[in-house]
Amino acid sequence: MYELMIKTSFASAHNLRDYEGACERLHGHNWRVDVFVKSESLDSIGLALDFKILKEKTKSIVEELDHKYLNEIEPFTEINPSSENMARHLFKRLSEGLIHYPVKVSKVKVWESENACASYYEE
């Protein structure tokens, strides 16, 4: 199995509903995102997927969240914009975006600080 990973980042504001503590109040993060895709095979020139495609697809999805108030954006109008839920959202959106490519999204990590991240993957 081959696995590729790219890193990206974005900035946005959020607040966690029903959370008891500082995160209940409006605040921002410089989120970092690690996207992993996997493939069992390579193409004729030895690539699982052109990094350029992976970067472009990820960028278009991340741009939907960049410099936004996340609580006003679907699906975070209904579910909390926690790092965990954001990782799942990005995983699902990116999986749709790559449906016609010979790779599967294997994991998305969302870092809300230098030392804390949440991952989403499916088994």
Q: Residues in the site for Zn ion, rule: CB under 5 A?
A: 23
Which CB, 62 or 98, lies closer to Zn ion? 62
Least separation in angstroms between residue 61's CB and Zn ion is 20
Please provide the DSSP assignment of 5-25 as one string.
EEEEEEEEEE--TT--SGGGS
Least distance (Å) from Zn ion to the CB of residue 23?
Answer: 5
For residues 41 and 26, give the distance between their C-alpha atoms in angstroms, rounded to a whole number. 45
Q: Transcribe 31-86 into DSSP letters.
A: EEEEEEEEES---TTS-SS-HHHHHHHHHHHHTTTTTSBGGGSTTTTTS---HHHH
CB 117 to Zn ion: min, Å? 13
Q: Minimum distance between the CB of residue 15 and Zn ion, rounded to whole angstroms?
A: 7
Q: How far apart are CA 35 and CA 87, in angstroms?
A: 9
Q: Please identify, using beta-carbon distances, which residue of 23 and 79 lies nearer to Zn ion.
A: 23
Q: Which of residues 33 and 54 has its CB atom nearest to Zn ion in the complex?
A: 33
Q: Closer CB to Zn ion, residue 49 or residue 81?
A: 81
Q: Which helix (H) or strand (E) holds 29?
A: strand 27-39
